[in-house]
Structure 1
Amino acid sequence: MRQFNVASNLAWMLAERGLQIGAGIGIVAMLARGLGPEGFAHFQYAQAVVYVAASVALLCGAEVVIPRLVANPEPLAQHRLLIHAFGLRFAAGVFGYMLMCVFLVVTQQSIDFWLPALILGIAILLREPFGIVTAWMQAHTTTRPNTLFNVASLTVKVGGISILFALGIRNVPAYAVVFSVEAVTLAALLAAFYLARAPRERTAHDPQLTRDLLSSGALFWVSFMCMMASRRVDQLLLKPFVPLTDLGAYAASMQILDNFVMLATILSAGLAPVYVYAQPTLKQARQNVLRIAGGMAGIGVIGGVLIALSAHWVVQLLYGAAFARAVNLLQLAALASALLFADVALTLLPIHLRQPRLVAIKWGLALIATLIVDAVAIPRFGTYGAILGYATANLLSVLFGLAVWKRYRNDEPAAYRVNA
């Protein structure tokens, strides 16, 4: 029965994520073919800048909000908490948007990069602040509306991109507007859903609650910022050293792998509740984490090899002959991406131990490794240097995960170790 429940949960998660992955692949393919290598490079670079800046808005995440909502189900208390968390996230989003503008000024980007970044950056002000409603729904185990809202906003984006592509429009800001419309649509749906159910009483600002939310989420915040920066900083470092066509080819290959690696997060989320978090002793949890890591590493290797072998066909099908340079890059990066499957599984142990400090350290090390290797290798080897940095960061993350697994090996109940 337990195996059936796990399989059922995985099937639902795969179906939902599969829709998002399929739509994402289709959107990227239309962007690449519609904009060409250089236009695609402009768009992807702007997205990378926004992606890194958006990490600042991850302040006071679901890990902080949901447990507090579950602990106090009183509607007015929950509304008060959500208002404070929204304020923190929105302030962080404004700060992230300003940091993005400062970066574009300091690096002296042209209008070709400025305009799409400013438009795409609207999502920084909307996604995380209004995403607080998603945390509220998760606390109430009411996730179906959120799924429907995501599908609705995704449909808007797919429809808009398809229209621009069919019309033969090659204007980068036009495609950026569609992405922002998706963020606006999702924010409006979430806001309308919550406001229709929220208490009407006004809530006064509580400085102590704000400080508590800040301190509780600080480690998660740092961890998320390091994670998101390590995943996109390579494209920011590449731009000054390679032609735009090479940057576009590298971004195209990494877009494929982003969708492939998403499978690892789906598998870990489906397996962890039963096989890790529900285990009564640390010994059993550790054993299962290692088994999951081994199995997921195998899946990563098989998937990486298959992608590498079919790279020419995949690139030709999705992006066309103009992106032929992406074939070799995809082959190498696909093999390195297999390490991420083991890393995602090994990260389950520090999460089970409620040790966000360890996750923050891991992503901090990965970011530092990426910066160091890229700074040395990119000026010499261009896009291949970026792949070397990607592989090095992945390997370091796995080694760190194994070190944590070896360190916490006493056969004690997990709750005892957490409280110790």
Structure 2
Amino acid sequence: MRRQIARNVVWLLGERALQITVSIAIVALIARGVGPEGFAHFQYAQSLVLIAASIGLICGAEVVVPRLVAHPSPDAQSHLIAHAFGLRALASIAGYLALLVSSVLTGQDATTVHIAAILGISILLREPFGVVTAWMQAHTDNRPSVVFSLSALAFKAVLIAALYFSAVHAVHEYAWTFALESGLLATMLAWYYARRRPRIRISPDRGLLIRLVRDGSVFWISMILLFSARRIDQLLLKPRVPLVDLGAYAACMQVLDNFSLLATIIASAVAPLAVYAQPSLAKARYNVLRVAGGMAAIGMAGGILIAIGAPWIVQLLYGERFEATVNLLQQGAIASGLIFADAGLALLAVHLRKPAWLVGKSLLVLVATAAVDLFTIPKYGVQGAVYGYIAANALAVVVSLGFVVLARESDAAKQAA
């Protein structure tokens, strides 16, 4: 069993590393192909799609996987997967409609609406068919999912490279590759599960639907708030700064976001033994502080390297038209240590099963980011958004540290129960 779990983790980490590498190359080609203004349109539309996509997370893996593990019968699992798929499909349709309606009602330009409508097709495909990935995870075998995901990503990369080297500059042409990637991935997942699912009649189970929505609601709300907090800066920037400046800022955030993914990987790798397996709150708290300190050091070291190498990084990835990104990247890299520290500190809330804490933190960070940005962007332009980015991450660390300090044995007792 341990060997199987270790092999599964290796597959997941390998997929994440390859996805980050290929995604960086893809974004670089798009930015070079469409230029700063086109890239601003593309990234702004992606921000709208990301927030709308969070609506489709109504029944996440943290709800589905434990239930699948607890009910190993193929018939019971098929019954659960069908209902989870239906919930996600309805929520994803609602998310896509919300994307289109909000884009029109907020007076977005035709280019942004067009790109968002194309990119938003992924909302209809990724989350509903993602239940198959949850099913694989419950069986501790993510290898097929990894192969399918990387195959679809490679397909998209080839298409984008073909567009770039064909000197295509239309942003919507690149957007279609994301929709095609999602379609291919959904097709492969559906094919794989269809060959293995039991041939039984699925009857609607209202009670199960209610339980799935209820149990996943806190995580669902937290994801909506988290994704909104991550993208509120670009939503506030577009009507207040030139598109060229927004494109430079979006390029900066792409580099920092990809580096920040390393924090999630490290936290996921060390959490099971360092935090989740600890018998007492005192020991778990001590280890969380140690992990957070070590991760902060890694983030600071990486941030310093990014700041020093910013001119070379920007030139390599985006080209000379994104020269304004260099200064923004050097300033934003300062927050890297904060992001890594927060990822480590947040492990205690997960360990104690306190999703409401994470919801509260996400809401606070969202409000703080919006407040700082609304004050600084009119005065300092895109640099004001960088200030908001740093302030928001500093606030997240303070709140997470407060959770660690204020956690009590009663919380640990409830978690054990």
Which category describes the TM-score, using the shorter chain as reference length?
A: over 0.9
What does residue 99 of structure 2 align with? Answer: 100
> Using the alignment, how far apart are the partners of 2:58 and 2:4 within structure 1?
33
Corresponding residue number in structure 2 for 1:277: 276
Partner amino acid, structure 1, of 2:157: V
Query: Residue type of the partner of 2:338?
Result: L
Unaligned runs of at least 5 residues, structure 2: none
Structure 1 residue 17 displacement after superposition:
1.9
Distance in 1 (alpha carbons) for counterparts of 2:307 and 2:212: 45
State how far apart, in whole Å, the 1-side matches of 2:66 and 2:371 are: 38
Counterpart CA distance in 2 for 1:9 and 1:386 is: 39
Q: TM-score, normalised by structure 2?
A: 0.96
Q: Could you tell me whether the CA contact under 8 Å between 2:11 and 2:143 is conserved in 1?
A: no
The reply to whether residue 174 of structure 1 matches residue 173 of structure 2 is yes
C-alpha distance after superposition, 1:267-307 (max 9, x if no partner) = 00100011111111111111111100000000000101110
Deviation at 1:12, TM superposition (A): 5.6
Question: Which 4+ runs in 1 deviate beyond 4 A?
Answer: 4-14
- 2:278 is paired with a residue of what secondary structure? coil
2:264 is matched with 265
- On the 8 A contact 2:4/2:140 being kept in 1, the answer is no
Aligned partners of 2:351 and 2:344: how far apart in 1? 11
CA drift of 1:15 comes to: 3.2
| Partner residue in 2 for 1:364 | 363
Instruction: Answer whether contact 1:10 1:266 (CA < 8 A) is retained.
Output: no
Question: Hey, what does 2:17 align to over in structure 1?
Answer: 18
1:165 maps to 164
TM-score of the aligned structures, taking structure 1 as reference length:
0.96
Question: What is the match of residue 414 of structure 2?
Answer: 417
Equivalent residues in 2 for 1:329-368, closer than 5 Å: 329-368=328-367
Q: Provide structure 1 residue ranges, at least 5 long, that are not aligned to the other structure.
A: none
User: Structure 1 residue 7: deviation in Å?
Assistant: 10
Does residue 211 in structure 1 map to residue 210 in structure 2?
A: yes
Q: How does 1:385-404 map to 2 (within 5 A)?
A: 385-404=384-403
Write the distance in 2 (CA, Å) between the matches of 1:76 and 1:46.
Answer: 41
Residues 248-257 or 16-25, more deviating:
16-25
Within the alignment, does 1:45 sit opposite 2:34 as a pair?
A: no
Tell me the distance in 2 between the aligned counterparts of 1:102 and 1:413. 42
Distance in 2 of aligned mates of 1:261 and 1:399: 18
The match for 2:120 is 121
How far 1:375 sits from its partner (Å)?
A: 1.6
1:30-76 deviations in whole A, cap 9, x for unaligned? 01111111111111111111011111111110111111111111111
Alpha-carbon distance in 2 for matches of 1:260, 1:354: 27
Aligned to 2:141: 142
* 154 and 48 in structure 1: CA distance in 2 versus 1, 3 angstrom threshold: same
Structure 1 residue 199 and structure 2 residue 173: aligned? no
Distance 2:284 2:345 in 1: 11
1:72 counterpart residue number: 71
Which position in structure 2 is the counterpart of 1:232?
231
Q: Which amino acid in 2 is paired with 1:193?
A: Y
* Identity rate, percent: 52
Q: What SS does the corresponding residue of 2:154 show, helix, strand or coil?
A: helix
Q: Is the alpha carbon distance of 1:208 and 1:183 closer, same or farther for their aligned partners in structure 2, counting shifts above 3 Å?
A: same
Q: Which moved more, 1:374-383 or 1:239-248?
A: 374-383
Seen in structure 2, the aligned counterparts of structure 1 residues 80 and 11 have a Cα distance that, compared at 3 Å, is: closer
| Cα distance between partner residues in 1 of 2:221 and 2:170 | 36
Does structure 2 retain, via aligned residues, the 8 Å contact 1:336–1:394?
Answer: yes
